[in-house]
Amino acid sequence: MVALKIVIPVILLTLLIGLITIIIERKRGKTRRGYGMFGGAVCPQCGYPYARHWWAPNLGTVKYDRCPNCGKWSRVPRASADELARAEAAFFGEEGELPAQELSEEEKLRKRLEESRYEDV
Ligand SMILES: [Zn+2]
């Protein structure tokens, strides 16, 4: 199982980088939602802020991603925390509850990892 020996460290490294990214983004503390390790994007069609999908193909510095709100495909660069916060305010209002972000496979995995940390203590 040579393949596993390569795949497992890569997955662990990916998760680690993802966690570090999340910690950094939390510290910035500007956005009210999490956007995952691929960063958030603001839909150029409807202005909806969303987490970029892991499966969206990269085109240089932008991703070709599908907006979960309007369903349109567009080339989206990684939006800055400022841009995302502005889009959140424009889309959901300044205050109040934000609709829950759909969890990506990545985040589900990370959540499971985090929960399992306490199981065998
Ligand atoms: Zn949209």
- Which three-class secondary structure state does DSSP give residue 21? helix
65 bridge partner residues: 74
pLDDT in tens, 72-95: 999 999 999 889 999 999 988 876
pTM of the model: 0.57
% helix, strand, coil for the chain, step of 5: 40, 15, 45
Q: What average pLDDT does the segment 42-51 reach?
A: 94
Confidence (pLDDT) at 32: 81
The rounded Å distance from CA 49 to ligand 1 centre is 8
Question: Is residue 121 pLDDT above 60, yes or no?
Answer: no
The rounded distance, in Å, linking the Cα atoms of 86 and 108 is: 27
Position 27 confidence tier, pLDDT thresholds 50, 70, 90: low
DSSP single-letter state for residue 1? -
Using the mean position of ligand 1's atoms as its centre, give its distance from the Cα of residue 22 in Å: 24
* Cα 49 from Cα 47, distance rounded (Å): 6
How remote is the CA of residue 111 from the centroid of ligand 1, in Å? 27
